[in-house]
């Protein structure tokens, strides 16, 4: 009798063409009142000897069933996965066949591209490209640049301080408000002569408007050698502007400006056309590096002089591309970005 039952069960297993059908077969034989389960229940009424021999027979039957069941289950699972994969077939050649289906691909952010252009132009003029630190200390961002803690110039650049235990040697940690701390770090590291630019992001805790953002990019320049003067800076800037703006018509003016880390100091404005109106937009601070700054960088002001500049790359981007509002540049709005 068990052999007959096993034969029937194995046929039922083979006939099951889906996992659901297979589960039904399992219930029919091994469920609470399944045929094999029922057989097992009859054992309790038998004598010990009969129980042993019948027990073995039924166990063999159960093992045979389980083995066939497991094999069939694996087969059906694989078949179901294969069928799903077939249905989800992804044709990677489709895009070539139908060029209208264009692939969306990322591009370099316009600001990063401009930074590379600036690097290229200055590299061609013999400048090296250096990296500053976005997280700086009060010492490098202010003190070493001749801005002591009581100095009102600290308020010119409202600062994001980091919630971090004070570094007693260099003061609090902060997000750099300008790229100028890089001047001190480069003098400390490389001494003189120096001819570098330091591009990077800077941060200011201030209200935003069409020409002010709280995160923007600057490019610092530093030229230290013997017998250097401001006329040289003007020559370099003219050359840079010509290459950067190409054929675009630009108007530039220089005027005196105050920064504690230069003496004398100048500022450069460029004419900004917004609709029918045009106004002067401040794009750069510069000047002869202050002797206290050279000393902080470990240089002898009697021997070396030089100039430094810091311009707003984000503002240059507005001028180059005719962007009306600086905040669009970091908005991550694809309608804006796709124009570049």
**Shortest Å, Cβ 220 to ligand FA5:** 6
Angle between helices 35-42 and 19-30 (to 10 degrees): 20
**Shortest Å, Cβ 215 to ligand FA5:** 8
In the complex, the residues that contact ligand FA5 under the rule CB under 6 A are 157, 178, 180, 204, 206, 212-213, 216, 218, 259, 262, 282-287, 308-312, 314-315, 326
Q: Which is nearer to ligand FA5, 9 or 192 (CB)?
A: 192
Question: How many whole angstroms separate alpha carbon 309 and alpha carbon 265?
Answer: 10
**Shortest Å, Cβ 300 to ligand FA5:** 20
**What residue is closest to ligand FA5 based on CB?**
312
Q: Is residue 20 within 8 Å of 50, Cβ to Cβ?
A: no
Q: Which is nearer to ligand FA5, 67 or 206 (CB)?
A: 206
Whole-angstrom CA distances from 313 to 198, 254, 310 are: 12, 17, 9
Q: Which is nearer to ligand FA5, 23 or 274 (CB)?
A: 274
**Shortest Å, Cβ 314 to ligand FA5:** 5
What is the DSSP code string of 12-80?
Answer: HHHH--SHHHHHHHHHHHHSTT-HHHHHHHHGGGS-HHHHHHHHHHHHHHHHHHHHHHHHHHHHHHHHH
Question: Mapping DSSP to helix (H, G, I), strand (E, B) and coil, where does residue 304 land?
Answer: coil
Q: Which is nearer to ligand FA5, 22 or 284 (CB)?
A: 284
**Shortest Å, Cβ 137 to ligand FA5:** 16
Q: Which is nearer to ligand FA5, 36 or 283 (CB)?
A: 283
- Which residue's structure tokens are 């316009």? 110
């Amino acid at each position: 009798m068990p052999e007959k039952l096993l034969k029937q069960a194995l046929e039922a297993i083979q006939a099951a063409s889906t996992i659901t059908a297979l589960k039904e077969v399992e219930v029919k034989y091994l469920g609470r009142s399944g045929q094999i389960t029922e057989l097992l229940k009859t054992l309790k009424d038998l004598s010990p000897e009969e129980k042993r021999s019948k027990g073995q027979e039924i166990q063999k039957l159960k093992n045979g069933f389980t083995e066939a069941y497991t094999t069939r289950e694996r087969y059906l699972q694989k078949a179901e996965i294969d069928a799903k994969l077939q249905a989800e077939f992804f044709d990677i050649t489709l895009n070539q066949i139908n060029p209208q289906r264009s692939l969306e691909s990322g591009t370099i952010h316009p600001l990063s591209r401009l930074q590379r252009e600036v690097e290229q132009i200055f590299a061609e003029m013999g400048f090296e490209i250096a990296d500053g630190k976005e997280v700086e200390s009060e010492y490098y961002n202010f003190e070493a640049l001749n801005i002591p803690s009581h100095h009102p110039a600290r308020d010119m650049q409202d600062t994001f301080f980091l919630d971090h235990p004070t570094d007693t040697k260099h003061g609090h940690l902060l997000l750099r408000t300008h790229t100028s701390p890089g001047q001190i770090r480069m003098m400390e590291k490389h001494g003189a002569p120096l001819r570098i630019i330091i591009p990077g992001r800077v941060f200011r805790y201030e209200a935003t408007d069409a020409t002010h953002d709280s995160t923007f990019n600057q490019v610092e320049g530093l030229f230290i050698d013997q017998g250097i003067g401001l006329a040289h800076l003007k020559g370099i800037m003219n050359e840079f502007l010509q290459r950067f703006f190409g054929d675009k018509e630009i108007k530039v003016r220089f005027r005196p400006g105050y920064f504690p880390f230069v003496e004398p100091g100048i500022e450069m404005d460029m004419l900004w056309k917004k609709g029918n109106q045009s106004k002067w937009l401040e794009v750069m601070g510069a000047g002869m590096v202050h002797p206290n700054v050279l000393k902080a960088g470990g240089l002898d002001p009697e021997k070396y002089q030089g100039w430094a500049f810091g311009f707003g790359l984000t503002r240059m981007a507005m001028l180059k591309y005719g962007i009306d509002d600086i905040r669009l540049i970091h908005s991550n709005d694809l309608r804006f970005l796709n124009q570049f």
